[in-house]
Amino acid sequence: MVTLPQGGRLTLLSEGHLPLSASFNPGPGESLPVTFWLPSLGPEPPRPCPVTGMGLIRGWLYDAASFLPLEGARVYIDGGAQEAVSEQNGQFVLPYAVLPPAPGGAPPMGTLVVEAPGYTVLRVRGVLLTGDTVTDVEDLEPGRGIREKDLTPMPFRGDKEQEVHQSAPVVPASEGSPAEGFTRPAARSELAGMTPPASIRVGTSCSCTSCSSVSVYALEDYVARGLDDEWINSWAAHSLKAGSIPYRAYGAWYTYHPLTSSYDICAGPCCQAFGSTEYTNSQTAANATAGFMLQEGGSLFRAEYSAENNCLQGALSCTNTDLSCGDGDAGSPANGWPCLSDSVCAGQSCYGHGRGM
């Protein structure tokens, strides 16, 4: 437990890791669980090599109460033939069989199950089983019962969650309050050189934008871990690279216009979908565009994107309030997005808010 004054700044240091800092403004008597995810210093440990037709899930398990590594936990994909047992340092390596795409073109997904005597069973839904290497870190809670976690990429979430995500309000770049310690001229001066913020405070355990805990990440780690929650990790490399730029810019914008004094952005569909699980393809794409953001008029641009921007009303959930551009064009003029020719998507039903990429 650390007691902070208003505007207090925490810096965490650990051997073998880069330091990570963040400021907080807790209210009187407020207790806020915060987790710092320090980036590793030096080369990444070698990844195990999967065999043909197989992928790998590697991860580390910890006791949520003591924060110590958890040895002897059983890890498997629900319905799969392989299983692994966590080692003394909490690490496990689980091979899995690559599955074909699901009906409708959705990538193959499975449920990762973690069991240990004396702990709640953890079921992680929506793990992509496309042959990529997956890296995961999980805490197991002492007790009984089952705890569910959903990593399903946003385009394949349920209709209600999609509607929340695609109905994000228009927020002009002029709105919002800069983060602690930044005036608009100072922020604009820094961003003119396209220098991304070093870290981002992510609200977790959220009900829309109201979150009960916070995780602090280096911005590039945030992009590498979160990209697969919005883009599909099995998509082409250039698609993932393209997606990493607005993902980074959108998150960075919130570090200058934080949701609350305790966190910049939420980790759910009301903001930008995010999960700490990491896929090699998404990490590679994020690394390839590291530091790249978008700006408009000298200020960081709150980049947006939605599932399908063609201006044609159809059966899908379309929350674009201005479809005047017409079929074969994308845009939302009433919301500040001009009409752009998009003949490739002609005939496709609008799906989402229709703004941006």
Digit-coded pLDDT (tens) for 52-81: 788 999 999 999 999 999 999 999 999 998
pLDDT at position 258 over 90: yes
- State residue 182's pLDDT score: 37
Mean pLDDT of 115-139: 94
pLDDT at position 341 over 80: yes
Distance in angstroms (rounded) separating the CA atoms of residues 297 and 277: 35
What integer best gives the mean pLDDT of the chain? 84
Distance in angstroms (rounded) separating the CA atoms of residues 179 and 170: 20
- State residue 291's pLDDT score: 87
- State residue 6's pLDDT score: 67
User: Would you state the CATH architecture of domain 54-151?
Assistant: Sandwich (2.60)
Q: Which helix (H) or strand (E) holds 126?
A: strand 121-128
Digit-coded pLDDT (tens) for 2-11: 666 666 788 9
pLDDT at position 95 over 70: yes
The tally of CA atoms less than 13 A away on the side-chain side of residue 330 is 20
- State residue 158's pLDDT score: 61
- State residue 177's pLDDT score: 39
Q: Are 263 and 274 in contact (CB under 8 A)?
A: no
Helical residues (DSSP H) of the chain, grouped into ranges:
159-166, 184-192, 219-230, 237-256, 280-288
Q: Which of 255, 165, 256, 187 is nearest to 217 (CA)?
A: 255
Mean pLDDT of 193-217: 89
pLDDT at position 98 over 80: yes
Mean pLDDT of 140-145: 95
Instruction: Give, in order, the Cα–Cα distances in Å from 110 to each of 102, 113, 152, 164, 240.
Output: 11, 10, 9, 24, 22
- State residue 73's pLDDT score: 98
Percentage of the chain beyond pLDDT 70 is: 85
Digit-coded pLDDT (tens) for 157-167: 764 444 444 45
| Residue 105 pLDDT class (50, 70, 90 cuts) | confident
- Please report, in angstroms and rounded to a whole number, the separation of the first and last CA atoms in the chain: 43
Q: Is 286 helix (H, G, I), strand (E, B) or coil?
A: helix
The residues spanned by each domain of the chain are 54-151, 169-300, 306-357
Q: Which of 103, 126, 140 is nearest to 57 (CA)?
A: 126
Q: Are 310 and 327 in contact (CB under 8 A)?
A: yes
Residues in the chain: 357
Mean pLDDT of 231-237: 88
**Count of other CB atoms within 10 angstroms of residue 283:** 24
Backbone angles phi, psi at 277, to 5 degrees: -65, 140
- State residue 99's pLDDT score: 83
